[in-house]
Each structure stands twice: as structure tokens, then as C-alpha cells.
Chains A and B, each alone.
Chain A
Amino acid sequence: MIISIASGKGGTGKTTVATNLAVSVDGPVQLLDCDVEEPNAHLFLRPSIQETKTVTTPIPEIDLEKCNQCKKCMEICRFRAIAVIGDTVLTFPELCHSCGGCMAVCPEGAIIETGRELGVLETGTVNGVSFVHGRLRVGEAMSPPLIRAVRDRTRAGGLTLIDAPPGTSCPVIAAMKDTDFVLLVTEPTPFGLHDLKLAVEAVKILKIPMGLVINRADMGDDRVRTYARSERIPILMEIPFDRQIAESYSRGEMFTLALPEWKARFRGLLEDIKTLVGKGAGTK
């Protein structure tokens, strides 16, 4: 089973939930940190990294000897990553989305595939948790291919937790798509609610069952709960705005270490998710 942990708003506690859940459950578990623009799950899990691999994405290079300036490559490129200007052809590698269209339409076989570095993928283990994350190259704008490379390391059959990036744009979709359940982490504030609504709409389109964790649950107001009820999204856990939890976080520790009674609650959370996945809840 694959559970993605997403939020809409940043800083609500996705990584807190993902890492604490990972260390609380029985049996083999895998944590994929798909927030490749600023991965942070490793700061809490502290895995020993065993493998570091550079991930690239295919981009075109033009063989000007073979090119006859027919412009077919330029016309098919939605991202304007190729420009035929006069007797030369320019490529803009940072605009290329690696669809391969230019190579498919070139009648002269003048387009050669090269690669642009997206970042690195690192894998490791810690206390039985198998860990994978990506680190996007500084200056790189496109994260979904690296996120997919991280997700390619999903081990079939076991439990896989995906720490998704915040927001509702392509990187988040890449992290949530085709997972069995989306656990949305929010906070009971106007910002939390606003961005939660956006996230819920995205998850509905993907038709994935979902549930809610309310973090810092005893601050703010009741509007998140009212909204969850109206959308029939089950609230699976509430984490209080607690000094000990905040101190654990600030030390880079998982709070289940200081508050071990929470481990059972995280195991309960997983059982609730399994039940919901079995029922196909939340998909409407």
C-alpha cells in the first residue's frame, strides 16, 4: 500500500506525520521524500546514505549537418524549447519537458538525445525504515521527473509512505498520483483551510481516497472540522499544539521518541487508513 502525505499549505506537518508514522508501524516500511526542492525527512530519520545517483532528463541536441530547417521540431514543441532561426537552430534546455516530440517528428534524424542533470537520488536505511529522497539541482526548475525517479524505487507489496511537496501543482500531482490513499495534513487556521480546499479538489480529480490529520489542533477555530464534515473527509488524527512536540521538532527528533504513547496512535492511524482503502472511502 502506498500512502501519500500532502497538505496544500506548507509547514503544516507533513514530514512530522510521515516520519513518525514510519517509525511507529510494525513491519517493513519505506519512506520516499518527494519534496525534492527542499527535502527534510532525512533530518529527522537520519538514515545512513548507501547510494547516490545522478538523475538526468532527456533533452534534444541538433545535428546542424543533417538539419534542413523544416521547423517541424519547433512547431511541435509546446514549451518553445527549440527555435529555428535563419539557418541555425537553438535549443533552450531549461524549457524542455522531455516529451520526445521533436525527435519523433524530425524527418532527417537530426536530433540526438542528450541529458540535463535534474539532481541526485539518495537511498539509505535507518532502524528498518528504507529511505529514498531526491535533491533537485540548484537552478533546476522542473521537479516531477526527479519525483518520479524517487517513486520508481517503490517496493511492491510493502508499506510505502510518500512525503509530498506542499501546494497543488505538478510536483504534488507527481507525488500523489496512483497512490492508494492521500493523508492530508492541515492546521485549523484560515490559511490552512484555504489551501486544504485546493488540495482536496486536486485529490478528488485524482479519485484517491483521503483522510485528514489536523496538526496544532487546539489553536485556530473549527472551520476546518466543519469543512471536513461537509466534504465527508474523515478526521483520522489530531495533534495538539504541544510544547514537547515543538521542542522535539526543533531538535530534529521525531516526537514519538519523547512521547512514545503516540506510537500506538500512529499504528491506529495506519489501521484506519487500511480500513478506508478497503472501503474505497472519500472517492465519491
Chain B
Amino acid sequence: MKIAVTSTGKDLDSPMDPRFGRAAYILIVDSDTLDVEVLDNAENVNAFKGAGIQAATMISDRKAEVLLTGYCGPNAFKALDAARVKVGGDVSGTVREAVAAFTDGKVKLVSGPNAQGHG
């Protein structure tokens, strides 16, 4: 299964980025092989508007089934929900720890946005 994790760096031992739309990187991790595809999110970091929507589109295009992040706002959640990407919110630690926690069933999936929009 492909898991998208918001990250401050490009490898599994990077600390997570708590932000979704404006995360520095989004890593697409294969939960079986731990293969990593790095998505550079620089364009979204400085996006004028709709960073969360764009990031949701991006991970949906990469066929991720789950997103592990810190905070997810209403527009991003709406887009992820439409893409049928499950969202694990309030996740922290390194990317590797987050993926392990998810495969161990320790990550609680959120049923709605857990952050305010940015207007």
C-alpha cells in the first residue's frame, strides 16, 4: 500500500512536517518494501492559494491510499475525501516511525478536517 507522509526532508528518517499543503516534501512510501518516492512540494509551499487542494491532487495522482500528516484543513480534506485517501492526523515523529505506527494500527484516522482554513 502506498502511504503519503508529509516530511521536512527527503528520506525515511526525516522528521515529519506537521503541515500538509505547505509541507516541504511529501514522501510516498510503499508500506511493504519501504521504497520512497520524493515529491518536492516547493511550488505549493509558496502557493498563493489552494496549497492543500493541490497537494491532495498530487498524492491522489500517485495512487496513495493513506495520508499521514499533522494538520489537514477543510479544503484539503474535501479533496482527499473525494479521492478516497484516508487521513491520519496529529501524527508526528520521523517518516519511518509514522509508517510503522500506521502499519501497527496505532494511527487514528480522522473523519474531518483538524485545522482551520487560511481564508
Q: A residues bordering B, Cβ < 8 Å?
A: 74, 78-81, 83-86, 88, 90, 92, 95, 141
Binding site for A on B (CB under 8 A): 47-51, 53-54, 56-57, 60, 75, 78-79, 82-84, 119
The answer to whether B50 and A86 touch across the interface, beta carbons within 8 angstroms, is no
Asked whether, in the complex, the Cβ of A85 is within 8 Å of the Cβ of B119, the reply is: no
The docked-state distance in angstroms from the alpha carbon of A80 to that of B21 is 12
A6 CB, nearest partner CB in chain B, Å = 23
Contact A83 B119 (CB under 8 A): no
Whether the Cβ atoms of B57 and A92 lie closer than 8 Å is no
Q: Nearest-CB distance from A7 to chain B (Å)?
A: 23
Q: What total count of A-B pairs have CB within 8 Å?
A: 44
- Contact call B50/A85, Cβ cutoff below 8 A: no
A95 in contact with B83 given A83-B57, A90-B78 (CB within 8 Å) = no
Residues of A within 8 A of B60 (CB): 85-86
**C-alpha spacing A16/B105, complex, angstroms:** 64
- Taken together as a complex, chains A and B put the C-alpha atoms of A85 and B48 apart, in Å, by 20
Cα A141 to Cα B117 in complex, Å, equals 12
- Contacts A78-B48, A86-B84, A92-B53 supplied; 15 other A-B pairs, CB < 8 Å: A79-B50, A80-B50, A80-B51, A80-B53, A81-B50, A83-B53, A83-B57, A83-B82, A85-B60, A85-B82, A86-B60, A90-B78, A92-B50, A92-B78, A141-B119
Q: How far is the CA of A86 from the CA of B84 in the complex (A)?
A: 9
Residues in A whose Cβ lies below 8 Å from that of B47: 80
Chain B residues, CB < 8 A from A74: 57
Assembly CA distance A267 to B81 (angstroms): 61
A84 with B48: CB separation less than 8 A: no
Which residues does chain B contribute within 8 Å of A86, judged by CB atoms? 60, 82-84
Decide: A85 near B56, CB < 8 A? Known: A79-B50, A80-B49, A95-B50. yes
Most B CB atoms within 10 A — which of A81, A92, A141? A92
When chains A and B are docked, how far (Å) is the Cα of A81 from the Cα of B47? 13
Question: Which chain A residues lie closer than 8 Å to B79 at the CB level?
Answer: 83, 85, 90
In the bound complex, CA of A85 to CA of B53 (Å): 10
Closest A residue to B54 by beta carbon equals A80
Contacts of B51 in A (CB 8 A): 80
Q: Which residues of B contact A80 (CB under 8 A)?
A: 47, 49-51, 53-54
Check if B82 sits within 8 Å of A95, measured CB to CB: no
| Chain B nearest CB, measured from A97 CB (Å) | 9
What are the 10 A-B residue pairs with the smallest beta carbon separation, nearest first?
A80-B50, A85-B83, A80-B53, A79-B49, A83-B53, A85-B82, A85-B60, A83-B79, A83-B57, A90-B82
